[in-house]
Amino acid sequence: NAGVTQTPKFQVLKTGQSMTLQCAQDMNHEYMSWYRQDPGMGLRLIHYSVGAGITDQGEVPNGYNVSRSTTEDFPLRLLSAAPSQTSVYFCASSPRQGSNIQYFGAGTRLSVL
């Protein structure tokens, strides 16, 4: 009963490095999203996807890239990490039909030095 799986759980980067946060879901959900959580600001939407091959920007997309080649996977790429991207990142998935309740992964804590 895996649900939404995020890897890694923790990561430390140096400014300018690139990396990919992985997200996979086994519930056959059409919708997937990436959020970042910062103190005092709740969760903010970075990018989302409504199906394989379709992605769109959320509230805070700058510095991040996504693609969706399969229904299961939705990786988030940091192209050139900056200290402002230090945050906790959550991936979520939801079914297309019904109330679209979003199911979250366990999060990735990222520090950029």
Residues forming the site for other proteins (CB under 8 A): 31, 33, 35, 40-45, 48, 50, 58-59, 88, 90, 92, 96-104, 106-107, 109
Tell me whether residue 17 or residue 88 sits nearer to other proteins (CB atom): 88
Residue 22: exposure state from Cβ atoms within 10 A (0-12, 13-18, ≥19): middle
- In Å, how far are 69, 73, 79, 88 from 43, measured between CA atoms? 25, 21, 21, 9
Structure tokens at 36: 């970042």
The distance of closest approach from Cβ of residue 67 to other proteins in the complex, given in angstroms and rounded to an integer, is 17
Tell me whether residue 2 or residue 101 sits nearer to other proteins (CB atom): 101
- Which of 53, 83, 85 minimizes the C-alpha distance to 67? 53
Tell me whether residue 23 or residue 107 sits nearer to other proteins (CB atom): 107
Given its phi and psi angles, is residue 17 left (phi above 0), alpha (psi -120 to 50 degrees) or beta? beta
The distance of closest approach from Cβ of residue 16 to other proteins in the complex, given in angstroms and rounded to an integer, is 27
Tell me whether residue 17 or residue 95 sits nearer to other proteins (CB atom): 95
The distance of closest approach from Cβ of residue 101 to other proteins in the complex, given in angstroms and rounded to an integer, is 6
